[in-house]
Structure 1
């Protein structure tokens, strides 16, 4: 179990380093990135706003993916489904709807990281509780 948890920590570190790098590139060059696909000024403006809003939250979604994947690897594949449902249906969709009333299109984009954040919170809580350790694929208990 020690090696498993060390692998999770190292994976999170790598994810965070990669996410910070990608976030920096996206924030610096977001208009250029959008212009690669479409040169319409309105599309570039909307796409740039989208990337500016969601970019910093790649840290959250990346960490959530690492933890969910680790638990799936340990045999608890059902939790990833539950976390995704909570993130989308209880987080992203209601937040996007409500925020769009105040912030227009940007409010829709704001709902996406809201869902990611909720998903990460749920995932971290479940991971810390350790119920996933009892769902091992092989027929033996995982000891700490």
Structure 2
């Protein structure tokens, strides 16, 4: 909402600074959370499902696969918010479609059926697709097209 407020006040440079700062906070904060979850995956899982060693083992592995990507997922979400705040909802929609339908689902199938990792391939598709979507969102943000749309809308 800070980005949207600054855009509404036609303070584009300030909106861009807020977006950078928010992305950094999301990246480092969620990377730290991911590290904690990675280190305590078994305990976290056992808290919810205390008496099923197989579920604890599998769920812990999923957490350990996902946790390192939390920072990038945070960046993607922040930048999608920036695009939405700038009134360019099409960018966040396209990034979400790219993430889920174009990358994650096909990758989940390929990794789970065409490699030796089996069902874990489905899990690996999550952090891989999140990382790619975050990189795409970051590149798009840095290109600045979202700012040009703001100026076009003011005429």
Q: Report the alpha carbon displacement of residue 136 of structure 1 after superposing the two structures with TM.
A: 3.1
Residue 29 of structure 1: aligned partner: 40
TM-score norm. by structure 2 comes to: 0.83
Residue 94 of structure 1: aligned partner: 106
Contact 1:75/1:137 (8 A) holds in 2: no
Provide the aligned C-alpha RMSD in A: 1.8
**Aligned residue pair count:** 141
Unmatched runs of 5 consecutive residues or more in structure 1: none
Residue 4 of structure 2: aligned partner: none
After superposition, what is the alpha-carbon deviation per residue over 1:83-138, rounded to whole angstroms, capped at 9, x for unaligned? Answer: 10111111111111111122112111000111112211221222222221233399
Distance 1:71 1:92, change over 3 A: same
CA distance in 1, matches of 2:102, 2:83: 22
CA distance in 1, matches of 2:137, 2:90: 12
Show the 5 A alignment for 1:71-82. 71-82=83-94
Distance 1:139 1:90, change over 3 A: closer
Residue 69 of structure 2: aligned partner: 57
Residue 128 of structure 1: aligned partner: 142
Residue 3 of structure 1: aligned partner: 14
TM-score norm. by structure 1 comes to: 0.89
Unmatched runs of 5 consecutive residues or more in structure 2: 1-11
